[in-house]
Amino acid sequence: MVRRRRVAGGSAAPARAAPARLFWCLPPSRPGARQEPAISTREAPTVPADRPLVLVACTATSRPGPQGEVAQAGVNRAYLDALEGAGLGPVLVPAGQPPDGRLLALMDGLLLPGGVDVDPARYGQAPHPSTEVDVELDRLERQLLEPALAEGRPVLAICRGIQALNVALGGTLVQDLADLRPGPVDHRPDIGRRHLAHGLRVEPGSRLADAVGATDLRVNSLHHQGIGRLAPGLRATAWAEDGLIEGVEAPDQPFVVGVQCHPEELWRESAPLRRLFGAFGAAVRTARANRAARGAAAAGW
């Protein structure tokens, strides 16, 4: 597990994170800055032109180097592999600068991945002692989520992502499940990222149930926070055995789906969770086709 960094309050602890592998990254432009490609054209991995692009909110990290800490930006490779597996092209968007319009115009879909906690100030609570935040990631996710929702782009929100989605739409979180909502389910057993920690009851007829093709699953669980009050714009679609909401969707959107578990760790061995990425991929391709058709109509074709 990545060592958590406390950003709020200026008490930054020395960060020690697993080396992040950048996959394909378009840096946001800075006004007045000379635009340099992140990697040379010759070295750049080619992304097939027909591959829809999914923006991935990406956290600032660092790792120790011989001359001290080296700032990096990254996300767990498992998310990128899962998106690629679904025929999608991930584009990493690092926290720290606002994404510019060109980048947002590329967005066929959005992935909000796991990570540290959402700043509880965003839902009107003082921080619990175990809460660790990254305010720049909070900001970036809003800057990506707002245009995605405004334009009906598909969104897949995983772990921290489902929590960020719930808070962005007006909901709250339980900041420490073990402390504030103790019960029969251990949501962070810390015995492996693919360990099937608890069951999941999925609402029949929900987008999640349609996607995974099941209403009863076993899932991994790597979180210490969870959804408290559900946001008005969301409906619950899955629950752990202790009643914790672990799946949501936005009924007024083409495809906005959140899960508290980590399907990106399990998609190779779990057909239902593989189908979740497949359904996201299908939704992203449909959204892009619709957008292209609207563009063609606007151009008078």
Q: Which of the residues are catalytic?
A: 159, 262, 264
Residues 174 and 228: their CA atoms lie apart, in Å, by 5
List of residues contacting Mn ion (CB under 5 A): 187, 221
Which residue lies nearer to Mn ion by CB, 51 or 198? Answer: 198
Which residue lies nearer to Mn ion by CB, 24 or 239? Answer: 239
Terminus-to-terminus CA distance in the chain, angstroms?
52
Least separation in angstroms between CB 218 and Mn ion: 11
Q: Which residue is nearest to Mn ion (CB)?
A: 221
Which residue lies nearer to Mn ion by CB, 168 or 245? Answer: 245
Least separation in angstroms between CB 185 and Mn ion: 7
Three-state secondary-structure class, residue 254: coil
Which residue lies nearer to Mn ion by CB, 72 or 225? Answer: 225
- Give 257's contacts (C-beta < 8 A, 6+ positions apart): 155, 156, 157, 207, 208, 211, 237, 247, 248, 249, 276, 279, 280
Which tokens sit at 299? 């151009």
Three-state secondary-structure class, residue 155: strand
Q: Identify any residues that bridge with 61 across adjacent strands, giving them in sequence order.
A: 72
Burial class (CB in 10 A: 0-12, 13-18, 19+), 298: exposed
Least separation in angstroms between CB 176 and Mn ion: 14
Least separation in angstroms between CB 186 and Mn ion: 9
